[in-house]
Chain A
Amino acid sequence: MRHPVNIPTPASFSREHIQTVGDMFVENARIQCRNVDVFYGEKHAIQDVSLDIGRNEVIALIGPSGCGKSTFLRCLNRMNDTIPGCRISGEIKLDGLDIYANGLDVVPLRAQVGMVFQKPNPFPKSIFENVAYGPRIHGLAANKLELEEIVEKSLRRAGLWDEVKEYLHHPGTGLSGGQQQRLCIARTIAVSPEVILMDEPCSALDPIATAKIEQLIDDLREHYTIAIVTHSMQQAARVSQRTAYFHLGKVIEVGDTALIFTNPRHQLTEDYITGRFG
């Protein structure tokens, strides 16, 4: 982390300047996005976004509603493919490989880039089955014992093991909202992805569950690259190392979280984080 400048200085880029400012690129990036445009039919949802996501970092994507941050996140594991009328241009590379290359299979990609959704969406199956499903379809466990190990490890990492170890064969939908979301995180990390995308994972949760998940994100950073979309600037400040501010489909400013929140360079960023809109 760079040394944050603690004395706020006035933003040096005016609202009319709509080019990305800040450090979009990092060395040895895990995901490299170059000139990404996304269209929903006629709607130009994302315009010319270039952004790197580094290894073992948490990057927060913030911005007002409808600014395209979720859309951008869903590009990273090609979840937008399921939306009819959605077109994507530009280049997104995961470890140097173009994920939109012709003939690329999305199944291994989504195993590498896992996703946690805004609303907890456990399968209507037992807790064990929820976590075991990913390893099972990918054939990650050679036998039942190994599968049980993976399930336990994933639930432990998600901080859920102690709460559910007695009830592994109870339905996952019977858990509380926060537990369900942690179950979804356990389900995602059971596949051992390299990148985890989180789309407002705490928006449906109470503060205590939120704190638990934030703690979890911090712990997960050791093993994974995490991109998190959030509406809460406090959350972005707490969990992320880098922050990207989206505005009307464009990335306005990218930089160290500490810098962005203390010393934004762009007027729009400053407007947003000081609560003038959004």
Chain B
Amino acid sequence: MNNPKEDSQLSNLGIRTHQIVKAGLPRRRAAETRFKAYGLICIVAGLGFLVLLFGNIISHAWSAIEQTYVALDVTFDESLLDPEGKHDSAVLAAADYPALLKKSMSALFPEVKDRQQKRSLNGILSKGASYELQRILVKDPSLLGKTERVWLPVDDDVDMLVKSQIDRSVDEGDRRLKDYQIAWIDKLMADGRLEKRFNRQFFTSGDSREPELAGIQGALMGSLFTLMVTAFLSLPIGIASAIYLEEFAPRNRWTDIIEVNINNLAAVPSIVFGLLGLAVFINFFGLPRSSPLVGGLVLTLMTLPVIIIAGRSALKSVPPSIREAALGIGASQMQTVFHHVLPLAMPGILTGAIIGMARALGESAPLLMIGMVAFIVDVPTGLMEPSTVLPVQIYLWADSSERGFVERTSAAILVLLAFLITMNGLAVYLRKRYERRW
């Protein structure tokens, strides 16, 4: 060591190393900067697409918040509604309300005499307007014989015109509304009889062929029931399977086969699960088709592998030292797992469950196979009733030709996203609570 020659050789080597490192430094720094730039570009692009997507959906959907209503002075004519004077609710419910509407409309536009024109005049009102009238009268029978100003929904074409989504400059022949109809609407508007109001219908009713009457609640409840079934089945089964396979099962050929199969099932296209559900749950077990129960069962099958795989990897990532510590003071296998391993793995397991459930919520293909694609007007109130789900409803509306469904499709997408965010928010909240216990 004290040899001066050796010392100087060493320090020469040191200087050489320093020079080489220094020469290579700009290249290394450049690579780092480049990589950061790539990352930034990717994130900006991703955010850009997200903004574009949301901007598009929201710009289409915002007009669906409101629906045009027309103010009509309706005379609840006793001679028309209740000619025998029974004042019975059954009679009132079955009365001829469209006739009332026709009378009110011709009172507004007495100059319209032509049969054809009269029909299109009445077409300004929604087909659901007479039901609205019936609802009002049944609620308040004292209106009988009086004249009352009521707000009634208009037809979707009129609604579209009011929301300026029908172009007036287009040739009359290519337009949904004729010039004389537009003139009537303009007159109504000038009289202050047309007004855009909050679209309550959209949030409180089921599907309809008429856009102005169609609502999301049926699909929302269907999704809710389906998801409930999925959550109640797939979470306990999935988490229990993950725990058993990871912590208790012996490592042998059978568990290997099971593991390979679970991994394969996670990659099976979802429509195959739909076919399975059709064959097993509907055809073999005879469960009612289109019901949230069957939908939930099918989505459970689809979600289970995801939850099991995520759960196992979360359990695997718990440090073995914690297991050893618990076993070392005489905790049984079960106590070790439930007191120490599971609480540490829970956030990861919940993340897997969220991903699985979110996928189940957005799934439509397997539900087509079990009949949840049907046109269902009633809002389901139970697991066995026919229903549809949000993504399928979006698909159905997107497929409809009426102009009024465009904005409602976008609004339905927003409802689906809101549902998803609520669900994820709940799960994140639960996860945070679990983490805070440590």
Q: List residues of A whose CB falls within 8 A of some B CB.
A: 77, 79, 82, 84, 107-111, 114-117, 119, 121-125, 133-134, 137-138, 171, 184, 187-188, 190-191
Give the distance to chain B from A199, nearest Cβ to Cβ, in Å: 10
Contact check, B328 vs A79: say whether CB atoms are below 8 A apart: yes
A111 CA / B339 CA spacing, docked (Å): 17
Give the distance to chain B from A150, nearest Cβ to Cβ, in Å: 13
Contact check, A108 vs B330: say whether CB atoms are below 8 A apart: yes
Q: Chain A residues with Cβ under 8 A from B329's Cβ? A: 110-111, 114-115, 133-134, 187-188, 190-191
A selection of 10 A-B contacts at a CB cut-off of 8 Å is A77-B328, A79-B324, A82-B323, A82-B327, A109-B330, A115-B328, A116-B328, A117-B324, A123-B325, A124-B322
- Kindly supply a per-residue 1/0 record for chain B positions 314-327, scoring 1 wherever the CB is within 8 Å of any chain A CB and 0 otherwise: 00000101111111
Give the distance to chain B from A136, nearest Cβ to Cβ, in Å: 9
A108 CA / B330 CA spacing, docked (Å): 6
Known: A124-B344, A124-B438, A125-B438. A137 touches B330 (CB 8 A): yes
Give the distance to chain B from A106, nearest Cβ to Cβ, in Å: 8
Contact check, B340 vs A123: say whether CB atoms are below 8 A apart: yes
Q: Is B17 an interface residue, CB under 8 A from the partner?
A: no
Give the distance to chain B from A68, nearest Cβ to Cβ, in Å: 18
Q: Is B331 an interface residue, CB under 8 A from the partner?
A: yes
Q: Is B251 an interface residue, CB under 8 A from the partner?
A: yes
Q: Is B332 an interface residue, CB under 8 A from the partner?
A: yes
Main secondary structure of the interface of B (DSSP, over half): helix
- Kindly supply a per-residue 1/0 record for chain B positions 8-25, scoring 1 wherever the CB is within 8 Å of any chain A CB and 0 otherwise: 000000000000000000
Q: Chain B residues with Cβ under 8 A from A133's Cβ? A: 326, 329, 331, 339
A41 CA / B323 CA spacing, docked (Å): 22
Q: Which residue of A lies closest to B329 (CB)?
A: A134
Taking a contact as CB atoms closer than 8 A, the residue among B325, B330, B331 that contacts A184 in the complex is B325
Give the distance to chain B from A206, nearest Cβ to Cβ, in Å: 20
A115 CA / B326 CA spacing, docked (Å): 10
Interface positions of B from 400 to 438, Cβ below 8 Å from A: 438
Q: Chain A residues with Cβ under 8 A from B331's Cβ? A: 107, 133-134, 137
Give the distance to chain A from B300, nearest Cβ to Cβ, in Å: 32
Interface positions of B from 299 to 321, Cβ below 8 Å from A: 319, 321
5 extra interface residue pairs, beta carbon distance < 8 Å, beyond A110-B329, A123-B325: A117-B321, A117-B324, A121-B321, A123-B340, A124-B438
Q: Chain A residues with Cβ under 8 A from B319's Cβ? A: 121
Contact check, A111 vs B330: say whether CB atoms are below 8 A apart: yes
**Of listed B251, B327, B330, B339, residue having the most chain A CB within 10 A:** B330
Q: Chain A residues with Cβ under 8 A from B56's Cβ? A: none
Known: A123-B340, A125-B438, A171-B438. A134 touches B323 (CB 8 A): no
Taking a contact as CB atoms closer than 8 A, the residue among A84, A114, A137, A187 that contacts B335 in the complex is A137
Contact check, A110 vs B323: say whether CB atoms are below 8 A apart: no
Interface positions of B from 246 to 285, Cβ below 8 Å from A: 251
A133 CA / B340 CA spacing, docked (Å): 11
Give the distance to chain B from A99, nearest Cβ to Cβ, in Å: 13
Q: Chain B residues with Cβ under 8 A from A79's Cβ? A: 324, 327-328
Taking a contact as CB atoms closer than 8 A, the residue among A110, A122, A125 that contacts B328 in the complex is A110
Contact check, A122 vs B325: say whether CB atoms are below 8 A apart: yes
Give the distance to chain A from B425, nearest Cβ to Cβ, in Å: 26
Known: A124-B438, A133-B339, A171-B438. A188 touches B328 (CB 8 A): yes
Q: Chain B residues with Cβ under 8 A from A114's Cβ? A: 328-330
Contact check, A110 vs B335: say whether CB atoms are below 8 A apart: no
Q: Which residue of A lies closest to B323 (CB)?
A: A82
| A-B complex: 6 closest residue pairs judged by Cβ atoms | A111-B330, A121-B321, A115-B328, A110-B330, A134-B329, A121-B325
A124 CA / B329 CA spacing, docked (Å): 16
A194 CA / B176 CA spacing, docked (Å): 92
Q: Chain A residues with Cβ under 8 A from B326's Cβ? A: 123, 133
A125 CA / B327 CA spacing, docked (Å): 16
Give the distance to chain A from B353, nearest Cβ to Cβ, in Å: 22
Contact check, B251 vs A121: say whether CB atoms are below 8 A apart: no
Q: Chain B residues with Cβ under 8 A from A82's Cβ? A: 323-324, 327
Contact check, A138 vs B330: say whether CB atoms are below 8 A apart: yes
Contact check, B330 vs A134: say whether CB atoms are below 8 A apart: yes
A138 CA / B335 CA spacing, docked (Å): 11
- Kindly supply a per-residue 1/0 record for chain B positions 367-395, scoring 1 wherever the CB is within 8 Å of any chain A CB and 0 otherwise: 00000000000000000000000000000
